[in-house]
């Protein structure tokens, strides 16, 4: 029997107010689950779109309240819920992050309401962009994660974790594919300018070269007077075909991904067995 996994991409315009963001996430997750979603993926900066506030929230009592609600949401629906990124005060071994920064962490929550895995972003967005913000320097607020690729199992599908700017570094995705990944997740907050230029190209390329499904889940719209993100969340097939997508407004899509399509692609074009380097 062909294995199928129903995935959902939740696209948002998150703000500085975690309570408002949580309300919107809950509404959209509830709807996606009604439509059959089993693996629900949220974008980067989902509950806080404000770099300067990351450490404050990570240290505050609000952090526990927020996590309790998110864990309960996954348990209520018996789904795998991927929090695209949310700041962590602690490293995976329990040390407090130094210098007033945080780890930018992708959290995976299981159907039992427990954290299954975490992945800390390893590539930080310190760049110049031709938009109203002009420059970005994530390293002011975020500490780089450890160089440990993370793959989890969801109903027989191997899911590889990454965050946003990581998508420009193909070696990470080749490592995830080497660990058996079937689906590569890219929760993001891609700027409008860089997204319009590269978002779909990068997602498609990572799918083609690794013969995996790639699910890019982006923020969208204006978050403040200078920060605009691109939206256009999308799912790509192992052949690089766009299977589902959104435009530039909040919402979600669901799609049933099939294991057979992966197997067919890899058998007909066995690229990995042809590698020489």
Residues facing residue 167 across a β-bridge: none
Q: Which of 6, 106, 121, 212 is catalytic?
A: 121
HSE-CB of 79 using CA atoms within 13 angstroms: 28
User: What's the chain's Rg over C-alpha atoms?
Assistant: 18
Count other C-beta atoms under 10 Å from residue 261's C-beta: 18
What CA–CA distance (Å, rounded) separates 246 from 102? 31
User: Can 64 be counted among the known catalytic residues?
Assistant: no
Q: Which of 44, 106, 143, 265 is catalytic?
A: 44
Contact 36, 30 (CB under 8 A): no
Strands of the chain (E only): list them. Answer: 4-11, 39-41, 80-88, 102-109, 115-120, 126-128, 135-137, 142-143, 151-154, 157-160, 183-188, 213-218, 220-222, 228-230, 234-236, 242-245, 251-258
Q: Which of 6, 138, 150, 164 is catalytic?
A: 164
Active site residues: 44, 121, 164
């Amino acid at each position: 029997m062909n294995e199928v996994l129903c995935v959902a991409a939740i696209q948002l315009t998150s703000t500085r107010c975690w309570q408002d963001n949580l309300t919107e996430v809950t509404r959209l997750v509830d709807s996606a689950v009604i439509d059959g979603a089993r693996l629900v993926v949220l974008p980067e900066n989902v509950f806080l779109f404000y770099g300067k506030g990351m450490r404050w929230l990570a240290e505050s009592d609000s952090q526990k309240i927020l996590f309790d609600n998110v864990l309960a949401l996954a348990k209520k629906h018996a789904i795998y819920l991927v929090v695209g990124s949310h700041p962590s005060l602690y490293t995976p071994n329990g040390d407090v992050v130094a210098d007033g920064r945080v780890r930018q962490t992708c959290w995976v929550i299981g159907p039992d309401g427990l954290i299954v895995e975490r992945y800390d972003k390893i590539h930080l967005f310190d760049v110049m962009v031709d938009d109203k913000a002009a420059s970005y320097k994530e390293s002011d607020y975020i500490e780089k994660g450890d160089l440990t690729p993370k793959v989890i199992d969801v109903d027989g599908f191997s899911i590889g974790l990454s965050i946003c700017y990581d998508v420009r570094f193909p070696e990470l995705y080749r490592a995830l594919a080497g660990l058996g990944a079937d689906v590569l997740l890219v929760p993001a907050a891609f700027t409008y300018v860089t997204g319009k230029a590269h978002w779909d190209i990068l997602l498609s390329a990572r799918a083609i070269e690794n013969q995996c499904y790639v699910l890019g889940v982006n923020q969208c719209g204006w978050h403040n007077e200078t920060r605009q993100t691109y939206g256009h969340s999308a799912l790509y097939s192992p052949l690089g075909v766009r299977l589902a997508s959104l435009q530039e407004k909040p919402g979600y899509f669901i799609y049933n991904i099939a294991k057979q399509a992966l197997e067919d692609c890899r058998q007909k074009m066995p690229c990995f067995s042809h590698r020489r380097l």
